[in-house]
Structure 1
Amino acid sequence: MTKFTRILILAASASALGACGGIDLGNRERPDEFAVQRQAPLVIPPDFDLVPPAPGAPRPTEGTASEQALEALFGGPAQRSAVENSAIRLAGEAAPGIRSSVGDVETYTVDKGAEVRTIIAAPEGDGQSARSVIPS
């Protein structure tokens, strides 16, 4: 009886281990973790006579992720801290719309040439392997 029980347990464990080989966890469908966006909490509207939103329309309270990024980068109605105000005061007041005027074709810029790009693109190191090339 003991031999029969051992053989039965051995056969059951072999079949259980064989069944584990048929499970494939590598090819399952996964969500895109970069497409996840936080949702604003639900808010009770002050006016209950509102029309329900159209299907597929963006939520009017939060905007898209790119709009939120632009708001975070370039500011909005939030007050600046004392440190930010101090840094702006020390740097000097910039003209309003400076980002637009810098990209304007009428803005005077200096072309430093290819040499500056070559120096900036040079590999880092201690300079032991640097060689000078004289153009002919």
Structure 2
Amino acid sequence: MRKLILAAGLVGSLSACGSSGLFDRERLDEFAVSRQAPLVIPPDFALVPPAPGAPSSATVDSGRAAMQAMFGGPAARSATEGAALDAAGRASAAPGIRSSAGDPNTPVVEMGGTTRDIIAAPEGDGEGARAATPQ
């Protein structure tokens, strides 16, 4: 009886080695590998040598060239937009104003306690907000 159980266990464990049959696994054929020809870049007869004094292609800013290709450069402003910028003081703006905006020595206008309270107020869901119209 023991030999029968041992033989059944041996057959059961060996059956896990194959998928459909005992020695019937699908494998890659390592002798079917063939070499492929290397890629060959055909000559481009449309290329011309660079003109004397022209900048080399290595000195061209690729980021700027990509932006120029995608967006086409700055668009002309309309008359209304130009008038609005002139009224806002486009010509009188200091060139380095953006770098000095966060400077602690930059003078700021005091807006008062109410503005400070609104900015410092915690964010809420708006459920407790009420609006009242003065009589």
Higher relative contact order (CA 8 A, sep 6+): 1
Which category describes the TM-score, using the shorter chain as reference length? 0.3 to 0.5
Question: Between Structure 1 and Structure 2, whose CA radius of gyration is higher?
Answer: 2
